[in-house]
Amino acid sequence: MKKTLENFPYQHVLVLGLAKSGTAAARLLARSNTKVRVNDLKTSQDDPVISELVSLGVDVIVGSHPVTALDGIDLLVKNPGIPYENVLVMEASKRGIPIITEVELAGRLVSDNIIGITGSNGKTTTTTLISEMLLQSNKTVSIAGNIGNVATEVAEQMDADETMVIELSSFQLLGVQTFKPKIAVLLNLFEAHLDYHKTFDHYMYAKGNILANQSSEDFVVYNLDDTKITELVADAHAEKVPFSTLKPCENGAWCGEGFIYFRQEKIIRISELALVGKHNLENILAAIAAAKLGGATNEGIVRVLTTFTGVKHRLQFVDNVEGRLFYNDSKATNILATSKALAAFEQPTILLAGGLDRGNSFLDLLPYLHHVKAMIVFGQTAEKLRETAEQAGIEIVEFVDNVKQAVHKAFQVSNSNDVILLSPACASWDQYRTFEERGDMFVDAVHKLK
């Protein structure tokens, strides 16, 4: 039987934005005997989900955002992607109506069984690693958030001994009140999503919300090598468990003499890791620390680390075509992610990059382009990337219309033993609905080369 919200302090809730999380939130609230209204701009009145919600007693308004939708409302559950400049969000704020995201509801269903992962990059890989390490240690686990199912749908079906491992975005964390992971994981901080957050301080504040409700009985696993992260956790109430690729951590995960350690335990030889890249070494350390705190065994951890080669669209090895090694890193939607992908390779590389123009330059890529022999560029940022390639002394720069063309052009200018890397350094929304769609086009084009 699905759980419902108990002692929920709100009587009449507006769910703004349906999609998966909004629909799940509306269902949960309706089943919890809360009066619910939903408002969505794009969903049509004849969509089957509307009929379902109406049958649950939900009041539905679609096609516009009338301010009257807030009348009588004492809580707004906002889809994470909806900006705070939205007319209803601004009006709710003006009226003093609390604004939360769906993960807050999930947190109210699960008392103390959450491992939450956030950061600018590496969240999905780390979330997957932690989940697999626990599963290989015979723990019961459910993955939620951006990587898995909607958090409320997971939480309402969890058993008492089950752990929720959840990937958390800054958008989600900006809308929490009481949400508290038993183990919080903070990977890194880099300027991202500033079109949404406006300032880095606001973005950092949102990420810091993962710590806000923790106590001394909880844990925060954090990157000791990232100064912004160490600044963020300085006042944390939870027990601090650092990880570092640069120095020993007596109370955390670290590298030394060719091995990975957790505290004083030797876990695995670094040369045995199946996952490539220094950035993935950081993700691995974070995952080991969180998994050990969550009850994983060394045997389970080693089984995962010797077999796991990556998550789809995240530095995913696709194929070897006539000696060319193709990697799909479509999830690299910012410069930091692409920098880390480039740093994972030493051999000659052909970089496929471009996408939505958010107004930034790509000069921060320059230190990582020394082994890039050619760039294939596309999308709104193609010209900016050409200029960056020119500054890096890259002689071969080709403009193409899409990722499919980029694969063929990269193959034409490549040699055996070259890496051909899709790592766009940009969001996909200028040409594709999602980074997954962009990555799938890349993978399909690579397979068709054969």
Alpha-carbon gap, residue 341 to 144, rounded angstroms: 25
Q: CATH classification of 316-449 is 3.90.190.20, yes or no?
A: yes
Which residues, at least 6 apart from 110, have a Cβ–Cβ distance to it below 8 Å?
Answer: 155, 158, 164
Q: For the chain, give every residue range classified as CATH 3.40.1190.10.
A: 103-305
Looking at the chain, the domain(s) classified CATH 3.90.190.20 span: 316-449
- Per the CB < 8 A criterion, the answer to whether 339 and 365 are in contact is yes
pLDDT of the chain, 450 residues: tens digit per residue? 799 999 999 999 999 998 889 999 999 999 999 999 999 998 888 899 999 999 999 999 999 999 999 999 999 999 988 888 999 999 999 999 999 999 999 999 997 899 999 998 888 889 999 999 999 999 999 999 877 689 999 999 999 899 999 999 888 999 999 999 999 999 998 755 556 556 778 788 888 999 999 999 999 999 999 999 999 999 999 999 999 999 999 999 999 999 999 999 999 999 999 887 777 899 999 999 999 999 999 999 999 999 998 878 888 888 889 999 999 999 999 998 899 899 888 899 999 999 999 888 999 999 999 999 999 999 999 999 999 999 999 999 999 999 999 999 999 999 998 999 999 999 999 999 999 999 999 999 999 998
Contact predicate 365/340, CB 8 Å: no
- Rounded CA separation 41/63 (Å): 4
Q: Which architecture, in CATH terms, is 12-100?
A: 3-Layer(aba) Sandwich (3.40)
In the chain, CATH 3.40.50.720 sits at 12-100
103-305: CATH number: 3.40.1190.10
